[in-house]
Chains A and B, each alone.
Chain A
């Protein structure tokens, strides 16, 4: 049988796109082996394109079970060997090996970044019988036919070994830190209490939790201080406008009263008018972090959600590769062609026409670079299917941002009117846009309002309708949200664009933090307390950043992977020894925190009947059914109880019913939408719902 060329991709969607792009008729044949899809393309010779499913190999300990630490010897194994629930990987790898046996040339076409390079390397080395040294590499940033064909025609002669070295080191160090520290915590708690709870920390997870906890401590210890703000209402040409006192913050009540008395029943006069024009430059193109922050600010999407949406858009060849830290748009992507294609969408027609009419297209770029990929940009392809609402929003945001970077600067005007009221100065402020420039393209995502003022002249008399003083208090620092944590991680230089969003999610999964405006749980405090007491080194942002930089140097070929690994182990060894020495104390502290956290998870709120007990999710000893009962029942003070659905999971919502004020729970049943339940049998909402249903049935 004739041999073929085997191309390995990271995901099935990418395999299909690559195969179709390379097939002479543009229609590759889909085949399946053991449920694993692969594609056959015809060109001057036969090409088989087989996908991976992300990482098929992972780092695992060399031997032994999961119940001990420290572990310093490791190897790369198929994921199904190391992870429960990864059975599918076995058949996947068998198919790849089978296909590799009949191939004579190999091409790694996984995403061109650290993760993609490791995925391709492991498959070539372990599943294709050491073909990593002879394999060629496809490098592309979009899954468009044109770019894929070009990438295939200009294959890189070999895979990027330094990138792989850096990636392998990162995985291995993260595994060493994660497995040892997490096992130390989990085993300590389990051995003390006899109960299992997964507790984890890691090289990046620990420092991230540390700065979230530091903010939480500030907020919880915060004491507001009073201050006063003076506002006045001025009438100009029949319109009433709010003016502010020159001092934004007045620290004492006596001073505020003095200003108030001086301005009482007095009119003002315009002293001076300051008009300033300023240019607002266009934004820079999106890198992943900036896209995640913007999508969080505009749509409330978590960084992980945005990353997943962007990945889907990329796999459908609608946008370029999203896991980039570049803010550059090279000329080679062909700005004009992209804009021309985007103009086929009615909503972009007018906007693109404006840009295409320009004699020269020059994007505003940021400083950040990424050697592997440009900034995120739309490929110009339009969706072939109806995008869901979140995909549509993210796509539109990327498309408009792309157009905005080619726009002219916006020109804004700010106006400050100085009004003198009996020796006290007040300001009236106005803002308007003189030239929209790039704002026209970014339209719905521009966050700035105009305040238009009526015509005013210097010396003009102003009628002051009232002057008031408002009691104010200083506010605590705002809570972190997933978007701002991600930004902070980026600024601190910890984690990578591929890992940050998942690390934040792990903090939620481990129940160290909760809610969108992040609140640290007791368990989060205790875990951090243990780490701070016994192994502060692993929480050091400086140390984490230094390791990151050394791993980057491996990528630049100026650092040896072995040295970084040895040094990382040298740091870790004494830390683990110390944790082992104090295992009992740590176990006690963590077990108590886990127990408290589990208890807290079941408390719904204050009992609305007795007012002193807490309503809690309880289980009947007789029937094992769950229900809500008051904790005062055990003291013989309150017999309040309510039934609960027996299927699915129930968790306190942490907020009261909007109608009756009783605490509420959320019920989640697999395959159904979660619903919020007010268990007050006499809640007016229930009556209204009953009436609504009855009306509907009558109709």
Chain B
């Protein structure tokens, strides 16, 4: 099984070792965003995808989640 983003070997949730860390970070930070500005998961993903401070892998995960519509 390969990572849905970079074709490395997937280790969990269809993500490789590098992108799984980014995925966990994306999932974890949603609660903080929700509390801070009350936005939805979809809005959150598009916000972090365009934020220049978001790390490259976290951005790739956010873009993938937007495309796939995963929750």
Interface residues of A (CB under 8 A from B): 217-227, 251-253, 473-476, 525, 529
Contacts of A474 in B (CB 8 A): 53
Does B51 lie within 8 Å of A473, measured CB to CB?
A: yes
Q: How far is the CA of A222 from the CA of B55 in the complex (A)?
A: 5
Q: Can you list 26 pairs linking A and B with CB atoms under 8 Å apart?
A: A217-B18, A217-B21, A220-B56, A220-B57, A220-B58, A221-B21, A221-B22, A221-B24, A221-B25, A221-B57, A221-B58, A222-B53, A222-B54, A223-B29, A223-B48, A223-B54, A223-B55, A226-B37, A227-B36, A253-B36, A253-B38, A473-B51, A476-B53, A476-B55, A525-B18, A529-B17
Contacts A223-B58, A225-B33 aside, 17 further interface pairs with beta carbons under 8 A come to A217-B18, A220-B22, A220-B58, A221-B25, A222-B25, A222-B54, A222-B55, A222-B58, A223-B26, A223-B29, A223-B48, A224-B51, A226-B33, A253-B36, A474-B53, A476-B53, A476-B55
Chain B, interface size category, equals 20 to 34
Q: How far is the CA of A393 from the CA of B18 in the complex (A)?
A: 43
Q: How far is the CA of A617 from the CA of B29 in the complex (A)?
A: 41
Q: Which of A221, A227, A475, A525 contacts B53 (CB 8 A)?
A: A475
Q: Which of B16-71 contact A (CB under 8 A)?
A: 17-18, 21-22, 24-26, 28-29, 32-33, 35-38, 48, 51, 53-58
Q: How far is the CA of A218 from the CA of B55 in the complex (A)?
A: 8
Q: How far is the CA of A474 from the CA of B22 in the complex (A)?
A: 16
- Measured CB to CB, the closest approach of chain B to A38, in angstroms, equals 57
Q: How far is the CA of A632 from the CA of B36 in the complex (A)?
A: 44
Interface residues of B (CB under 8 A from A): 17-18, 21-22, 24-26, 28-29, 32-33, 35-38, 48, 51, 53-58
Does A221 lie within 8 Å of B32, measured CB to CB?
A: no
Contacts of A218 in B (CB 8 A): 55
Does A252 lie within 8 Å of B36, measured CB to CB?
A: yes
- Measured CB to CB, the closest approach of chain B to A410, in angstroms, equals 36
Does A224 lie within 8 Å of B53, measured CB to CB?
A: yes
Contacts of A221 in B (CB 8 A): 18, 21-22, 24-25, 55, 57-58
The 4 lowest CB-CB distance pairs between A and B, nearest first, are A221-B22, A222-B55, A220-B55, A223-B29
Contacts of A476 in B (CB 8 A): 53, 55
When A217-B18, A223-B58 are in contact, do A253 and B37 touch as well, CB less than 8 Å? yes
Does A223 lie within 8 Å of B36, measured CB to CB?
A: no
Does A251 lie within 8 Å of B35, measured CB to CB?
A: yes
Does B51 lie within 8 Å of A252, measured CB to CB?
A: no
Contacts of A220 in B (CB 8 A): 18, 22, 55-58
Does B21 lie within 8 Å of A224, measured CB to CB?
A: no
Contacts of A251 in B (CB 8 A): 35-36
**Of all chain B residues, which has the CB nearest A525?**
B18
- Measured CB to CB, the closest approach of chain A to B58, in angstroms, equals 5
**Of all chain B residues, which has the CB nearest A519?**
B56
Q: How far is the CA of A227 from the CA of B35 in the complex (A)?
A: 11
Contacts of B37 in A (CB 8 A): 226, 252-253
- Measured CB to CB, the closest approach of chain B to A309, in angstroms, equals 36
Does B58 lie within 8 Å of A226, measured CB to CB?
A: no
Contacts of A525 in B (CB 8 A): 18
* Most B CB within 10 A of own CB, among A218, A221, A251: A221
Does A224 lie within 8 Å of B54, measured CB to CB?
A: yes
**Of all chain B residues, which has the CB nearest A252?**
B36
Contacts of B29 in A (CB 8 A): 223, 225
Q: Which of B24, B28, B36, B57 contacts A226 (CB 8 A)?
A: B36
Q: How far is the CA of A221 from the CA of B28 in the complex (A)?
A: 12
Q: How far is the CA of A251 from the CA of B33 in the complex (A)?
A: 9
Contacts of A217 in B (CB 8 A): 18, 21
Contacts of B21 in A (CB 8 A): 217, 221
Q: How far is the CA of A474 from the CA of B38 in the complex (A)?
A: 18
Q: How far is the CA of A473 from the CA of B28 in the complex (A)?
A: 16
Q: How far is the CA of A222 from the CA of B51 in the complex (A)?
A: 11
Q: How far is the CA of A223 from the CA of B62 in the complex (A)?
A: 10
**Of all chain A residues, which has the CB nearest B21?**
A221
- Measured CB to CB, the closest approach of chain B to A532, in angstroms, equals 10
- Measured CB to CB, the closest approach of chain B to A255, in angstroms, equals 9
